[in-house]
């Protein structure tokens, strides 16, 4: 099987990763969210918690998964879904993987000649977006609580092997392009993002 074009998308919560990925999918790419894979496990693992898919619970679940099933467990699941899609004769322009948060995922994308996009948005902007549009399984948080939970994805956690931990600083530092998304005008972001996609495809 010929290797697909690969684009990875990283960024913090509510930065605009999903919106960017949806544009690739609309152009004929096959897309998989690493975050969605983990979110499914988090809902089950923390099913008795009203905040089951909080950043803290998602981070704990991701670290647990990678520690127990390998640092590349989410990547392997994503590639398996892509291979199943291709096996039944579906043709796509490429593979877009979003919610990239672990070094092994970054290294895979870049080693296969892919592009790694980082969507940047201020903490206050992202917090506002999160509180205005909460998912089922999320609870309201102050900006301070929001930032404290996200710090779990930047800072090493005790008793978790380094290779299994999230490291968004590694993702951002290895990005091939950074896209700013600090406004509240989604249409403007889409226009900016579409130009980048057109250059890549």
pLDDT, tens digit (0-9, with 9 covering 90-100), for 10-43: 999 999 999 999 999 999 999 999 989 999 999 9
Q: Would you identify the CATH topology of the domain 6-194?
A: Rossmann fold (3.40.50)
Residue reference for tokens 């392997």: 76
Contact between 30 and 96 under an 8 Å Cβ cutoff? The reply is yes
Per-domain residue ranges for the chain? Answer: 6-194
Phi-psi region of 110 (alpha: psi -120 to 50; beta: other; left: phi over 0): alpha
pTM: 0.86
Contact between 47 and 136 under an 8 Å Cβ cutoff? The reply is no
CA angle 63, 66, 68 (to 5 degrees): 105
Say what the pLDDT of residue 155 is.
67
């Amino acid at each position: 099987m010929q290797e697909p074009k690969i684009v990875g998308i990283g960024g913090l919560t509510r930065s605009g990763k999903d919106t960017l990925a949806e544009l690739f999918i609309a152009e004929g790419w096959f897309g998989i969210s690493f975050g969605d894979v983990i979110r499914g496990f988090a809902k089950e693992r923390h099913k008795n918690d009203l905040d089951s898919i909080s950043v803290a619970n998602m981070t704990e679940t991701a670290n647990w998964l990678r520690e127990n099933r390998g640092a590349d467990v989410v990547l392997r699941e994503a590639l398996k879904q892509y291979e199943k899609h291709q096996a039944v004769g579906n043709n796509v322009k490429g593979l877009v993987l979003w919610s990239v948060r672990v070094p092994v995922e970054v290294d895979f994308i870049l080693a296969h000649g892919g592009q790694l996009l980082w969507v940047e948005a201020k903490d206050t902007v992202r917090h506002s977006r999160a509180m205005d549009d909460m998912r089922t399984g999320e609870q309201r948080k102050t900006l301070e609580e929001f930032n404290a939970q996200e710090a779990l994805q930047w800072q090493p956690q005790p008793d978790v092997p380094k290779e299994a931990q999230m490291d968004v600083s590694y993702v951002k530092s290895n990005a091939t392009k950074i896209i700013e998304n600090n406004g509240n005008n989604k249409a403007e972001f889409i226009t900016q993002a579409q130009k980048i996609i057109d250059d890549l495809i």
